[in-house]
Amino acid sequence: MIWLLDTNTIIHALNGVPRVRDRLNAVPDSDQIVTSTVVVAELIYGAECSARRDENRQSIREKLEQIDVVPVTLAIADRFGVVKAQLRSRGRLKADFDLMIAATALELGATLVTDDGPLLGGDITGLLVANWLA
């Protein structure tokens, strides 16, 4: 199984939220934990805007050494466009970064681990989601 960690999940892990830490530690060795370059961009942005910039950037680097970072590929970009058009036709708009992260999960056949309500809502056909805070 592939677990794709969303930005909020990584932030909770960095902040030592017990539920998230426990779930990360319980992931079997046979599973894969990944994130997206889009998530990395959001994390770096958050660190740059924080009062503890250098400390937060260091924490992000250390966490990213433990997981694989998946680049945005042409297949993921294609999936993004299809999903966004499908949602638009149903009047269900989502933020582009959220959709790119969801498209990455769909393309990888991964379960997206998130606490983001719009991604947990079931609007994206085929997207497997898990909320490790629930």
- d(CA 92, CA 118) in angstroms, rounded, equals 10
Give residue 16's pLDDT band: very low, low, confident or very high (50, 70, 90).
very high
Confidence at residue 12, expressed as pLDDT on a 0 to 100 scale: 95
Q: Contact 7/120 with Cβ under 8 angstroms?
A: no
DSSP bridge pairs for 129: 112
CATH architecture label of 2-130: 3-Layer(aba) Sandwich (3.40)
Question: Global pTM?
Answer: 0.93
Average pLDDT over residues 49-68: 94
Average pLDDT over residues 61-77: 95
What pLDDT is stored for residue 134 in this prediction? Answer: 84
114 backbone dihedrals φ, ψ, rounded to 5°: -150, 160
Average confidence (pLDDT) over 81-102: 95
Q: State how far the Cα of 54 lies from the Cα of 77, in Å rounded to an integer.
A: 32
